[in-house]
Chain A
Amino acid sequence: MGFILRRLVFYFGAFLVAVVINFFLPRMMPGDPVDAMLAQGARFTAEQIANLRLTFGVDQPLYEQFFTYLGDVFTLQLGNSTFFSNMPVSEVLANAFGWTLFLTGTATILAFMFGATLGILAAWYRGGKFDSLASPLSLVLQATPQLVFGIVVLFSLGVTWDLIPISYAYDPELTPDYTSWEFIKNVLHHAVGPIFCIFIVQLGGFLVPMRNNMINLLNEDYITMGKAKGLSNIRVMLNYGARNAILPSVTALSMALGFVVGGALVVEVIFNYQGLGSVLYNAIINRDYQLIQGQLLIMTVFMLAFNFLADVLYVFLDPRLRKGGK
């Protein structure tokens, strides 16, 4: 398993680099958490300000903060949030994590399933009506900023027609109870808008590459041989075409799943959804270094984990990458 070992070493290196960047990136923004509080109208005496800086640890030289941070990362201490009333960062993130995983994860997996399927069909019936409609359209959708979709959906479905809630992950008057159908229904109802916005933008990202890849493959001799063998069209399309064409899309899916915990920042903010995207947004606005670091760390770990998964999955899906055969 030299392959896996080599990948693991690489991922550890990448992790270290990301950890360093995660530290310096938020601190390159002007101001610190206390400045952010002052900017939002908090009134402190000079002594209070000094105390706050001491509490937040931002009075120390940067290199000392850095080494403290490194030590903390490897002992899995993420510190406390300065913005969310001194709650532990891990707790803040844990609260938001599930919501984001649900929101972005569902949207990404749906987008992959629909995108890949429609891409396969568009390629199989290339030049036909469906292809000439779906392919350019998905390019347009893909190029449209989520902000535009978010606002259009929010105003049309949410405000004008009042079909979907415009805020929160569930009705704040309900007590979260994951066993009650009433509550689950409410959660789903709240998720429709944001999921749709993320889904529609990601759809083209899966459809177009799948289609183009498949069209290239359809000229391969083994496709012709599959047809010559008198197999049904479905079988040639799936076992001979799609089975080969899906390989690059699997990488794309893993990358997208790695991004899932980044949350859909724009959509979450628009729909005031309590996921990691909203958390990150607030953390950045308030210079909540610990929270930003924590969030970036989760993103790093997820990104690397799913990349690794893609590597392994690829070997599983493409026999040519396996060494020595059986």
Chain B
Amino acid sequence: MSVNQANASVHDKTDIQLSVRNLCVDYITSNGDVRAVSNVSFDIGRGEVFGLAGESGCGKSTVAFSVCRLHKPPAFISAGEIIFNGKDILKFDDEQLRQYRWKESAMVFQSAMNSLNPVLTLEEQFCDVLLAHTNMTRQECIKRAGQLLEVVDIHPSRLSDYPHQFSGGMRQRLVIAIALALNAKLIIMDEPTTALDVVVQREILQKIYQLKEEFGFSILFITHDISLMVEFCDRIGIMYAGELAEVAPAKNILTKPNHPYTEGLGNAFPPLHGEKKRLVGIPGTPLNLFEVPVGCRFQARCPYVKDICRKEYCTLTEVAPGEFSACHLHKDGIVDIIALEKQPVQG
């Protein structure tokens, strides 16, 4: 398999905030090692919102956690580079890593309910991170914490409250406020709104977007909700079985998919406008990573599968300006999905 993949980048070198290069993450299990993330490469520009989407278990959260080196055993990063502002964070020692965390890249976790420490007051949870990274006095920390609360529309007087005294949506805003504490340049959001209802979801996303415009940080946004992502992100990477299947601008991803898997995902979501049409799922089940086939990982579920897909691995390649695909059919630029749709080749 080629190491010199396309970097799925559309940015100038100077404009890149985070660059993930051929990242491989393995899980060591008693049944053998599993490569949960395989040769994933992408760049995130300054102020850009980059989305990673895919079904459960495709490795998107593993990528997110790797970017902060927060992956837990049995996972370990077996190859690749994660370049942040020109430095490979995989080479950081413990102290460098500690300083990098939150100061450079902060994280908003999936479950707002559980990501705040239940026995510490908010003040304590703001102050510990501020004190760990800055020379501020405690008084200054409290003042800063109050300002941050105001940013997410929560009254500063509530600093002395405990997490259980807030609603789910408020807690997620609190976590976002903590994420903003050190003006991190990248905020990783691992399904930040999954645990919330759609109304609160929208409220949170609007808040995040507004803050991003204001503070100019980049976002790595992880979700399995593609329609949400299309609205929110600048560019999207679609992951399947630990690999990037496609990277493309958000506006194109559903209308002009460059990978049969993306197309399948698009078909599985109801359109907001236009006539109702029957939703089509993707046949089959996600790939068992213990049984990775030769060739394309999506071959068993792909409606357009060809002989070459069963023989040759396809690397992520630029198929159109700013659009990358890991599909043989798109790579050569000879196959038009629309044409294929008329005569689907049954796998």
Contacts and interface: CB of A to CB of B under 8 A. Distances in A.
B15 interface: no
Nearest to A225: B115
A123 B111 CA distance: 24
Given A222-B115, A229-B178, A232-B98, 10 more contacts: A221-B115, A225-B116, A230-B97, A230-B99, A230-B100, A230-B101, A230-B133, A243-B119, A319-B119, A319-B164
B150 interface: no
A243 B120 contact: yes
A318 interface: yes
Interface of A: 220-222, 224-232, 235, 239-240, 243-244, 317-320, 325-326
A325 B132 contact: no
Contacts, number: 81
A325 B165 contact: yes
29 contacts: A220-B114, A221-B115, A222-B114, A222-B116, A224-B72, A225-B107, A225-B117, A225-B175, A226-B117, A227-B70, A227-B101, A228-B101, A228-B102, A229-B101, A229-B102, A230-B101, A230-B129, A230-B132, A231-B98, A232-B98, A239-B128, A244-B118, A318-B118, A318-B119, A319-B119, A319-B121, A319-B162, A319-B164, A320-B162
A172 to B, nearest CB: 50
Contacts of A227: 70, 101
Interface string B48-85: 00000000000000000000101010000000000000
B132 A244 contact: no
Interface string B9-33: 0000000000000000000000000
Contacts of A239: 117, 120, 128
A284 B306 CA distance: 89
A319 B118 contact: yes
Nearest to A223: B117
Contacts of B298: none
B118 A231 contact: no
Interface in B162-177: 162, 164-165, 175
B97 to A, nearest CB: 8
A231 B132 CA distance: 6
Contacts of B99: 230
A239 B120 CA distance: 8
Most-contacted residue by chain B among A235, A317, A325 (CB, 10 A): A325
Contacts of A224: 70, 72, 109, 115
Nearest to A231: B132
Contacts of B119: 243-244, 317-319
Contacts of A317: 119
Contacts of A231: 98, 128-129, 132
B120 A230 contact: no
A222 B161 CA distance: 17
Interface in B88-119: 97-103, 106-107, 109-111, 114-119
Given A228-B68, A228-B70, A326 B160 contact: yes
Interface residues of B, number: 34
A240 B160 CA distance: 17
Contact of A235 (B72, B97, B132): B132
B161 A221 contact: no
A247 to B, nearest CB: 8
B129 A229 contact: yes
A123 to B, nearest CB: 14
Contacts of B98: 230-232
A320 B164 contact: yes
Nearest to A226: B117
Contacts of A243: 117, 119-120
Contacts of B106: 228-229
A22 to B, nearest CB: 39
Contacts of B110: 221
Contacts of A318: 118-119
Nearest to B178: A229
A224 to B, nearest CB: 6
A37 to B, nearest CB: 58
Nearest to B111: A221
Nearest to A222: B117
Nearest to B68: A228
Contacts of B133: 230
B162 A244 contact: no
A251 to B, nearest CB: 15
Interface string B145-169: 0000000000000001110110000
A221 B110 CA distance: 9
B162 to A, nearest CB: 4
B253 to A, nearest CB: 29
Contacts of A225: 107, 109, 115-117, 175
Contacts of B129: 229-231
B117 A325 contact: no
B159 to A, nearest CB: 11
Query: Most chain-B Cβ atoms within 10 A of its Cβ — which of A222, A224, A317?
Result: A222
A317 B121 CA distance: 12
A197 B344 CA distance: 78
Contacts of A319: 118-119, 121, 162, 164
Contacts of B132: 229-232, 235
Contacts of A229: 101-102, 106, 128-129, 132, 178
Contacts of A240: 117
Contacts of B100: 230
Nearest to B132: A231
A319 B163 CA distance: 9
A243 B101 CA distance: 22
B162 A230 contact: no
The winner among B111, B117, B165 for most chain A CB atoms within 10 A is B117
